[in-house]
Amino acid sequence: MANDSPISLTVELGPLRLKNPVMVASGTFGYGQEYAELVPPERLGAMVVKGISLEPRSGNPPPRIWETCGGMLNAIGLQNVGLRAFVEEKLPWLNPLPVPVIVNLFGNTVEEYGKLAAALDGQEGIAGLEINISCPNVKAGGMIFGSDPKMVFQVVSAVRSRTNLPVITKLTPNVTDITVTARAAQDAGTDILSLINTVAGMAVDAQTRQPRLANVVGGLSGPAIKPIALRMVWQVVQVSTVPVIGLGGIVSVEDALEFLIVGAKAIQVGTANFINPGVTLEIIDGLEDYLRQRNLEDINEIIGTLEVP
Amino acid sequence: MLLRNAKILFNNPVSLELYHMALVCPDIAATIQPGQFLMVRIQDRLDPLLRRPFAVHRLYPNDPPGSFEMLYKVVGRGTQLLSNMLAGDSVNLLGPLGRGFRLPEEKGSVLMVAGGIGIAPLPYLAETIAASGCKGPSVLWFGGKNSADLVCVQHFNDLGFTVQLVTEDGSEGRKGLVTGHLEQWLTQQNELPGVIYSCGPYPMQRSVAEMAARLGISSQLSMEALMGCGVGACLSCSLRCRPPEGTQEPHYANVCQDGPVFDGEEIVWDESSS
């Protein structure tokens, strides 16, 4: 087998072209610096940085995390440095990196989403925006926006009208029919959809009868949610006219391939970064090996090739 | 920050719940400072899912080269699985992580306070202080539920520490809580210690910090929290601290990145957790 045959992992997601389909998910990779010693950012397809809001946010009181069977329940509450500190302190480090940087953004109101989009539109070093309408851990906005198709349309429209950057809308799984919110985002002009965010969950200490999280409820991530994520990506791919990024519980190249096969054009790795910081590099190498072993040259030959007997 | 597989040299119980695990990893042993920690992936599987944080208990530069020891308590599924591992098995380490203890001034005296498994990071600190030529008198106050908690006391004796023991059930040393006896003892001293190093449960840490503040002694506390990543990415291991000037309230520091060692004055103590 010729090991030097040209393998292409390049994928095109509407206006966004990535050298490989492996991204890191918002909130699991900080602002890139945290893992830079172990994961050279330039190897990644793209990097989605921790969600930012107009003003800094303190986040929820601890405890914020609880491990479950195959999963991690968290209620961070979108703690972040805010727009100004992001632009002044984080962006100068991110800007020169030869990797597309996607900024995840979050607002308390429709207007705040629009303001954030406008403020980031003029900044150098940003390859795209990911609208967070799906965080389950904050009282205002977040999942409330994300589960109401009318609100999804308004938020995405507000962002779309204020930026020329590629717009990704991150969908919540905490809805009855995810294709409804996917369509709303698409109708409002999103370039790309990403799904899923965490699944709303809860844990209780039977000894003390207290919730494990100070926020009482949180969002479940990790391998426990992968089948849910895969099913939803597959459903959305059936009805969507825009590219889909799949995420939710991906910990290996096999997991990544499953999402690509059902039709995701790219994938994001989240919780797995905590367990195995080198996992994204292993997935990138693993995708190349997978193609080589099958005498294929292009990852696009795999995407959307689910065979339903 | 390194990612390394490390071979287990031994994994021995020291009491019903406490274990000593010795590992070989020269790269990490060469750089890790007292009070810093490692995120340990116990098995190459997804159960338990997350890594677990452990401090270095003792460092053995030469026996064999690049080896060190962790002291851990079996408290849940992760540490249960860890306790079943055998010499020759491997674990995966991420580290060194966090901000460790700052060493004392040369002539100052040192007071260490430990509660239960909070003893874990202190022997390596004590060894480092001894090797740095610090000449001041050193005292360890060590409290546990019962005598089985009071491990590695001889090691502190060998390093020249005066060791004061306290147990909740009175099975060894004084009876009661370590912080109850400590303040009385401190007020009887002609000369106060230059610094207090402390590690233990949250209410004990709070008492130590408040006591140190009352007496005008600086305190360095190694804090514990449920952790996700260990590197400051997930923002799970929050500890409420005084906000830096011009920033919003409440301010949450990351135990993994801003700590695990904090100055007592930095922390805003939570009423409900004590």
Does residue B93 share a domain with residue B126? no
Asked, for residue B253, whether it belongs to a domain, the answer is: no
pLDDT of residue B190: 87
Structure letter (DSSP) for residue A207: T
Asked, for residue B105, whether it belongs to a domain, the answer is: no
Report how far residue A108's alpha carbon sits from residue A173's, in angstroms, rounded to the nearest whole number. Answer: 20
Does residue B181 share a domain with residue B117? yes
CB contact under 8 A, A66 and B226: yes
CB contact under 8 A, B226 and A79: no
Q: CATH no. for residue A273?
A: 3.20.20.70
CB contact under 8 A, A58 and B248: yes
pLDDT tens, residue by residue, B7-43: 999 999 999 899 999 999 999 999 999 999 999 998 7
Does residue B127 register a pLDDT over 60?
yes
DSSP for B32-81, written as a single string: PPTT-EEEEE-SSSSSS-S-EEEE--EEEEETTEEEEEEEEE--SHHHHH
pLDDT of residue B47: 87
Domain count, chain B: 2
Mean pLDDT, rounded, for A27-50: 94
- A274 contacts chain B (CB < 8 A): yes
Q: Nearest CA to CA, how far is B232 from chain A (Å)?
A: 6
Does residue B177 share a domain with residue B219? yes
Mean pLDDT, rounded, for B247-257: 92
Report how far residue A59's alpha carbon sits from residue B258's, in angstroms, rounded to the nearest whole number. Answer: 16
User: Looking at this predicted complex, what is its ipTM?
Assistant: 0.93
Structure letter (DSSP) for residue A208: T
Q: Report the chain A residue with the minimal C-alpha distance to residue B230.
A: A274
Catalytic residues of A: 135
Q: How far is residue B139 from each of residues A235, B149, B164, B220, B233, measured CA to CA in Å? A: 65, 18, 8, 15, 37
A interface mutation test: which of B45, B46, B75 has the most A CBs within 10 A? B46
Tokens of A230: 């895969």
Give the residues across from B12 on adjacent strands.
B20
Asked, for residue A175, whether it belongs to a domain, the answer is: yes
Asked, for residue B144, whether it belongs to a domain, the answer is: yes
Report how far residue A239's alpha carbon sits from residue A150's, in angstroms, rounded to the nearest whole number. Answer: 18
Does residue B218 share a domain with residue B149? yes
pLDDT of residue A1: 44
Name which of A50, A71, A273 is nearest B49 (Cβ-Cβ). Answer: A71
CB contact under 8 A, A38 and B3: yes
Q: Whole domain around residue B127: which residue ranges?
A: 110-225
pLDDT confidence tier of residue B274, bands split at 50, 70 and 90 = very low
Number of Cα atoms under 13 Å in the Cβ half of residue A240: 34
Does residue B90 share a domain with residue B161? no
pLDDT confidence tier of residue B132, bands split at 50, 70 and 90 = confident
Q: Report the chain B residue with the minimal C-alpha distance to residue A65.
A: B236
pLDDT tens, residue by residue, A168-204: 999 999 999 999 999 999 999 999 999 999 999 999 9
Asked, for residue B10, whether it belongs to a domain, the answer is: yes
- Please report residues of B whose CB lies closer than 8 A to that of A37: 1
Least confident of A122-126, A138-142, A214-218, B217-221: A138-142
pLDDT of residue A139: 55
Does residue B67 share a domain with residue B121? no
Asked, for residue A252, whether it belongs to a domain, the answer is: yes
CB contact under 8 A, A59 and B225: no
Q: Report the chain B residue with the minimal C-alpha distance to residue A49.
A: B233
Task: Quote the percentage of chain A above a pLDDT of 90.
Answer: 91
pLDDT confidence tier of residue B108, bands split at 50, 70 and 90 = confident
Q: CATH no. for residue B214?
A: 3.40.50.80
pLDDT of residue A134: 74
CB contact under 8 A, B232 and A251: no
Asked, for residue A5, whether it belongs to a domain, the answer is: no
Mean pLDDT, rounded, for A209-230: 97
DSSP for B77-116, written as a single string: HHHHHHHT--TT-EEEEEEEESB-PPPPPTT--EEEEEEG
Asked, for residue A212, whether it belongs to a domain, the answer is: no
pLDDT tens, residue by residue, A240-279: 999 999 999 999 999 999 999 999 999 999 999 999 999 9
- Please report residues of B whose CB lies closer than 8 A to that of A61: 238, 240, 250, 252, 270
- A74 contacts chain B (CB < 8 A): yes
pLDDT of residue A2: 47
Q: What's phi and psi for A220, nearest 5 deg?
A: -95, 130
Domain count, chain A: 1
pLDDT tens, residue by residue, B147-169: 999 999 999 999 999 999 999 99
Asked, for residue A131, whether it belongs to a domain, the answer is: yes
Does residue B130 share a domain with residue B51? no
pLDDT confidence tier of residue B50, bands split at 50, 70 and 90 = very high
DSSP for A259-307, written as a single string: HHHHT-SEEEE-THHHH-TTHHHHHHHHHHHHHHHTT--BGGGTTT---
Asked, for residue A71, whether it belongs to a domain, the answer is: no
Q: What mean pLDDT value characterizes chain B?
A: 93
Does residue B203 share a domain with residue B136? yes
Does residue B46 share a domain with residue B130? no
- Please report residues of A whose CB lies closer than 8 A to that of B233: 27-30, 34-35, 50, 273-274
Size of interface A-B (CB pairs under 8 A): 104
Asked, for residue B239, whether it belongs to a domain, the answer is: no
Amino acid letter, residue B266: E
- Between A109 and A259, where is the model more confident? A259
**Last residue within a domain, chosen from B75, B97, B119:** B97
Report how far residue B166's alpha carbon sits from residue B150's, in angstroms, rounded to the nearest whole number. Answer: 9
**Last residue within a domain, chosen from B45, B65, B97:** B97
Asked, for residue B269, whether it belongs to a domain, the answer is: no
Does the bond joining B96 to the residue before it have cis omega, within 30 degrees of 0?
Answer: yes
- Please report residues of A whose CB lies closer than 8 A to that of B1: 37-38
Asked, for residue B261, whether it belongs to a domain, the answer is: no
Q: What mean pLDDT value characterizes chain A?
A: 94
pLDDT of residue A211: 98
Instruction: Tell me the helix, strand and coil percentages in chain A, rounded to 5.
Output: 35, 20, 45
pLDDT confidence tier of residue B80, bands split at 50, 70 and 90 = very high
Q: Whole domain around residue A186: which residue ranges?
A: 11-59+77-199+220-301
Asked, for residue A70, whether it belongs to a domain, the answer is: no
CB contact under 8 A, A72 and B50: yes
Q: CATH no. for residue B28?
A: 2.40.30.10
Asked, for residue A226, whether it belongs to a domain, the answer is: yes
pLDDT confidence tier of residue B109, bands split at 50, 70 and 90 = confident
**pTM higher than 0.90:** yes
Does residue A143 register a pLDDT over 90?
no
Does residue B130 share a domain with residue B204? yes
Asked, for residue B274, whether it belongs to a domain, the answer is: no
pLDDT of residue A137: 55
Does residue B193 share a domain with residue B116? yes
- Contact of B32 with B95, CB cutoff 8 Å: yes
